Amino acid sequence: MKTFLRLAGLIRPFFWWMLLASIAGFAATGSGIGLLVTSAFIIAKAALQPPMAALQIGIAGIRFFGIARGVLRYAERLISHNTTFRILARLRLWFYDAVEPLAPARLLSFRSGDLLQRIVDDIQSLENIYVRVLAPPITAFMTAILVWALIGVWSPAAALVTLAFHLAAGIGLPMLTARLGRGINVSIMKLRALQQVQMVDFTQGIGELTVYGQLEGYRAGMQANEEEILRLQKKSSWIEGMQESMTGICMNGAVLGVLLVLLPEVPEGKLSGITLAVIMLAVMASFEAFAPLSAAAGRLEADIHAGDRLFEIIDAKPEVTAPAKPLPFPENHAICLRNLSFSYPGSTEKTLDGVTIDIPKGKHVAIVGPSGGGKSTVTSLLMRFWNTAPGELSIGETDISAFDPEELRRNMSLVSQRTYLFGETVRENLLLAKPDACEQDLVSALGSAGIGHFTKRLDNWVGQHGMQLSGGERQRIAIARMILQDAPVVILDEATASLDMPTERAVSRTIDALTAGKTLLTITHRLHGMERFDRIYVLDKGRVVEEGSHEELIQEKGLYQAMWSLQHMSAAPSS
């Protein structure tokens, strides 16, 4: 109920439009009643062979109601759909605005297919609430009052019979439909969400599935899901068919009931045959307003479920928010971690445990250590993907939370191991870093990143996730982005780890040349060319276990020296 009221509340700015749609709907149904009533009048009257002039008023009525019915129904659909689509467009923007700050921390628990389902299908299904749930009951109520009043003038008993069948079609049947269909549409929705997730996983993992021979098995799983959806859809169609025929039964019941009440009055002369025919058709036409109610009730549970899924995202609190009065990124942007600890939400283990690291402005610092030691977590905290506590993480002696996270990210270029390239052209992927870059900027960035030949391929499609490029080319595009962004701080998080050794060395040389004079933090577990760093921190199990220059650490004969020897021993035969 709470979700329904929240969804209904969204139409507040469009209240008058919705009311207008209901009135137009009522006027269209009223015209339908008028059309049948005047038709009944003409047919019944014509049977008595009156002079033509006596039929003129009826003929004019048919013309008027016939045209009015079509025009008013068109107006009702136009207004209600226009309003609904405007509400849905607002909802989509609202949803997107809510999703954006949740990335990446809060979105880790959602799968991309599921998010896609929410933003496309769930929002779309709310159309039902606005078009079929909110306006039609008002239309039906107004129509019913009109018909009761019309019939009541001739016979209160007939009006009561009509009321009883209206209640059955307008309240009883929707309740029955909702009860019979309970859970079905929600299950269809859940299975559709699963299908979406499966499709995304399937398209992204098709390479792995093929290599491991799991294509058939995966396809069978998707097929089973599809069959279950079909089974439930059949059930839902059955209920829909039942509900439509029950509405017809209610209509015919009302006609029969009213006939039984009024028929004896005709021979008594209390009611003319023509009036009886007019009343019969008015009763029949009034049910047009009740038909949509049961269908809407059958889907209501699923629509509310869709609303719940949307509000789950909209109500989620972002991990990191911008302060009310953010400070500008400081000129002296020395980065300082003091006794910093961090645990991921839901985990009791300390990923970082009292870490102290200094990265002075303009210096090149490396954090090295075994996998899982917490190195990338330092990057995530610096990029403000997560909040930090307890301990201190400051830039230019000001706590990191005093800056706007977006401003921070503009001033700190991150090149990570997993470069994400959009399925666009090389140009589009580069412009991400600097939307107003001119052709010359792009050419020079590509040249500096060592892929000058890409200038001829600027408008080539890079494939889904950049799959038409080699790993080295993708990393170099990431470096070209970094050059375009031209931030004072550069963070390289295992940026070259996925490259073969000669390419890695070439890319590292390029990066060194480009970051001269900038503040550089390199995170790596591969120890080569470490002499070029001003200071190296060794992170193991969330703690800084050693620090110093390459020579000092080799002298220390600790973890660093062990890692270095191991890597250089294994690298020796191939170099």
Least CB distance from residue 329 to ligand ADP, whole Å? Answer: 25
Which of the residues 465 through 484 are near ligand ADP (CB under 6 A)?
none
Residue 377 or 448 having the CB closest to ligand ADP: 377
Least CB distance from residue 371 to ligand ADP, whole Å? Answer: 4
For residue 5, how far is the Cα from the chain centroid? 21
Least CB distance from residue 344 to ligand ADP, whole Å? Answer: 3
Question: Is residue 372 involved in binding ligand ADP (CB under 6 A)?
Answer: yes
DSSP 425: B
Question: Is residue 103 involved in binding ligand ADP (CB under 6 A)?
Answer: no
Residue 49 or 348 having the CB closest to ligand ADP: 348
Least CB distance from residue 387 to ligand ADP, whole Å? Answer: 13
Dihedral sign, Cα of residue 306, residue 311, residue 313, residue 314 = positive
CB 560 within 8 A of CB 368: yes
Which pair of tokens denotes residue 393?
């993480």
Sort 315 into a burial class: Cβ within 10 Å, 0-12 / 13-18 / 19+: exposed
Residue 376 or 561 having the CB closest to ligand ADP: 376
Residue 445 or 491 having the CB closest to ligand ADP: 491
Residue 105 or 151 having the CB closest to ligand ADP: 105
Least CB distance from residue 374 to ligand ADP, whole Å? Answer: 5
Residue 329 or 342 having the CB closest to ligand ADP: 342
Residue 311 or 386 having the CB closest to ligand ADP: 386
- Site for ligand ADP (CB under 6 A): which residue of 32, 58, 136, 374? 374
The DSSP secondary structure of 38-102, one letter per residue, reads HHHHHHHHHHT---THHHHHHHHHHHHHHHHHHHHHHHHHHHHHHHHHHHHHHHHHHHHHHHGGG
Which of the residues 122 through 181 are near ligand ADP (CB under 6 A)?
none
Per the omega criterion (within 30 degrees of 0), is the bond before 390 cis?
yes
- Could you give the angle at the alpha carbon of 410 between the alpha carbons of 407 and 415, nearest 5°? 140
- Site for ligand ADP (CB under 6 A): which residue of 371, 440, 570, 575? 371
Which of the residues 533 through 572 are near ligand ADP (CB under 6 A)?
none
Residue 77 or 543 having the CB closest to ligand ADP: 543
Question: Is residue 110 involved in binding ligand ADP (CB under 6 A)?
Answer: no
Residue 298 or 374 having the CB closest to ligand ADP: 374
Residue 195 or 376 having the CB closest to ligand ADP: 376
Which pair of tokens denotes residue 381?
């905290």
Which of the residues 287 through 346 are near ligand ADP (CB under 6 A)?
344
**Cβ-based neighbour number of residue 419 at 10 Å:** 21
Which pair of tokens denotes residue 520?
């550089």
CB 449 within 8 A of CB 480: yes
What mask, x for binding ligand ADP by CB under 6 A, covers residues 376 to 415? xx--------------------------------------
Least CB distance from residue 499 to ligand ADP, whole Å? Answer: 17
H helices of 205-214, in order, are: 206-211
Q: Which residues contact 397 (CB under 8 A, 6 or more apart)?
A: 332, 334, 336
Residue 213 or 346 having the CB closest to ligand ADP: 346
What is the helix (H) or strand (E) element at residue 128, kind and residue range? helix 127-128
- Which range binds ligand ADP by CB under 6 A, 237-245, 374-382, 414-422, 528-536? 374-382
Tokens 């645990």 label which residue?
Answer: 343
Least CB distance from residue 315 to ligand ADP, whole Å? Answer: 21
First and final C-alpha spacing in the chain: 70
Least CB distance from residue 235 to ligand ADP, whole Å? Answer: 40
Distance (Å, whole) CA 543 – CA 128: 55
- Site for ligand ADP (CB under 6 A): which residue of 118, 132, 305, 375? 375
Least CB distance from residue 418 to ligand ADP, whole Å? Answer: 12
Least CB distance from residue 492 to ligand ADP, whole Å? Answer: 12
- Could you give the angle at the alpha carbon of 150 between the alpha carbons of 149 and 153, nearest 5°? 80
Per the omega criterion (within 30 degrees of 0), is the bond before 104 cis?
yes
Which of the residues 335 through 364 are near ligand ADP (CB under 6 A)?
344, 347, 351
Tokens 């719940």 label which residue?
Answer: 308
- Which range binds ligand ADP by CB under 6 A, 129-137, 141-149, 365-373, 440-448? 365-373
Least CB distance from residue 90 to ligand ADP, whole Å? Answer: 32
Which pair of tokens denotes residue 151?
């019939």
Which pair of tokens denotes residue 331?
């000129």
Residue 38 or 416 having the CB closest to ligand ADP: 416
- Which range binds ligand ADP by CB under 6 A, 83-91, 275-283, 375-383, 404-412? 375-383
Which pair of tokens denotes residue 469?
């490029």
Dihedral sign, Cα of residue 402, residue 407, residue 409, residue 410 = negative
Least CB distance from residue 373 to ligand ADP, whole Å? Answer: 4
Residue 371 or 574 having the CB closest to ligand ADP: 371
Tokens 């600097």 label which residue?
Answer: 434
Question: Is residue 575 involved in binding ligand ADP (CB under 6 A)?
Answer: no
Distance (Å, whole) CA 62 – CA 35: 5
Strands 335-342 and 392-395: antiparallel
- Which range binds ligand ADP by CB under 6 A, 68-76, 297-305, 316-324, 367-375? 367-375
- What are the backbone dihedrals phi and psi of residue 362, each rounded to the nearest 5 degrees, phi first? 80, 0
Q: In terms of Cα–Cα distance, which of 115, 348, 155 is closest to 259?
A: 155
- Which range binds ligand ADP by CB under 6 A, 247-255, 373-381, 398-406, 439-447? 373-381
Distance (Å, whole) CA 81 – CA 75: 10
Distance (Å, whole) CA 35 – CA 69: 8
Q: How many residues bind ligand ADP (CB under 6 A)?
A: 11
Question: Is residue 373 involved in binding ligand ADP (CB under 6 A)?
Answer: yes
Judged by the rule CB under 6 A, the positions of this chain that interact with ligand ADP are: 108, 344, 347, 351, 371-377
